[in-house]
């Protein structure tokens, strides 16, 4: 909550005032990695291709796809419920705050959907491949940071989206996928 009162506007204004064309171009590319369709398609393909011969890989794909879908639906529900003004409304008209149950894009800032996707993917990959978890979370953080640098979201939007994405994945993992993903793969492991 402190972000909302003390950090959101100053941080957004700093990024807005210090935008360099090259950096903006780079972060526009990075932010595309937070688009959910890439992960949903990849997860579904892994599930479909490997469901008969490599069930663990199929489950990893299902976790990836379902995590992104669940966090995306949750983010969308929160966005339309809270109706938070995006930074562009503050920059153009000085509007900052909430207008509950607003569906217009300019009022759908909270939480960040790209951040939710990035951290649902990072958490899914960290659960499947824990050895590389620092890399997955660094990638998720970079995507979330891109939303701040491009002044598409406030810090509190990005934090909330990141928590939502990670939490959605953990819920799915513990209630649906844990037994499948960590089941013994051969008789020696029993």
> Over 90: is that where the pLDDT of 19 sits?
no
Token pair belonging to 118? 């990035």
Q: What is the pLDDT of residues 71-107, one digit of tens each?
A: 999 999 999 999 999 999 999 999 999 999 988 999 9
What's the rounded mean pLDDT across residues 108-129?
A: 97
Per-residue pLDDT, 6 = 85
Is the four-CA dihedral 75, 80, 86, 88 of positive or negative sign?
A: positive
C-alpha pair distances (Å), 169 with each of 8, 47, 166: 26, 17, 5
Q: Which residues pair with 84 in a beta bridge?
A: 98
Q: Is the pLDDT of residue 184 over 50?
A: yes
- Burial of 141-157, coded b for 16+ CB within 10 Å and e otherwise, reads bbbbbbbbbbbbbbbbb
Cα dist. 61→15, 17, 49, 164 in Å?
A: 36, 41, 10, 20
> HSE of 142 in the Cβ direction (CA atoms, 13 Å)?
14
Residue-wise pLDDT for 23-76, tens only, equals 899 999 999 999 999 999 999 999 999 999 999 999 999 999 999 999 999 999
pLDDT band per the 50, 70, 90 thresholds, residue 190: very low
Report phi then psi at 144, rounded to 5: -60, -40
The values of phi and psi at residue 186, to 5°, are -150, 175
Return the pLDDT at 171.
97
Average pLDDT of the chain to the nearest whole number: 92
| Calculated CA dihedral for residues 137, 82, 95, 86, nearest 10 degrees | 30
CA end-to-end span of the chain: 48
């Amino acid at each position: 909550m402190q972000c909302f009162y003390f950090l959101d506007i100053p941080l957004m204004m700093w990024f807005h005032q210090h935008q360099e064309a090259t950096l903006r171009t780079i972060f526009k590319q990075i932010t595309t990695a937070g688009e959910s369709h890439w992960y949903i398609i990849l997860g579904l393909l892994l599930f479909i291709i490997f469901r008969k011969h490599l069930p663990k890989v199929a489950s990893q794909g299902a976790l990836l796809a379902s995590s992104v879908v669940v966090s995306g639906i949750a983010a969308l529900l929160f966005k339309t419920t809270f109706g938070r003004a995006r930074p562009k409304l503050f920059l153009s008209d000085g509007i900052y705050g909430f207008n509950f149950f607003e569906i217009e894009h300019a009022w759908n800032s909270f939480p960040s959907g790209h951040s939710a996707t990035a951290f649902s993917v990072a958490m899914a990959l960290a659960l499947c491949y824990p050895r590389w978890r620092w890399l997955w979370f660094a990638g998720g953080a970079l995507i979330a940071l891109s939303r701040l640098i491009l002044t598409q979201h406030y810090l509190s939007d990005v934090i909330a989206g990141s928590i939502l994405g990670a939490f959605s994945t953990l819920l799915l993992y513990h209630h649906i996928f844990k037994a499948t993903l960590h089941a013994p793969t051969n008789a020696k492991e029993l």
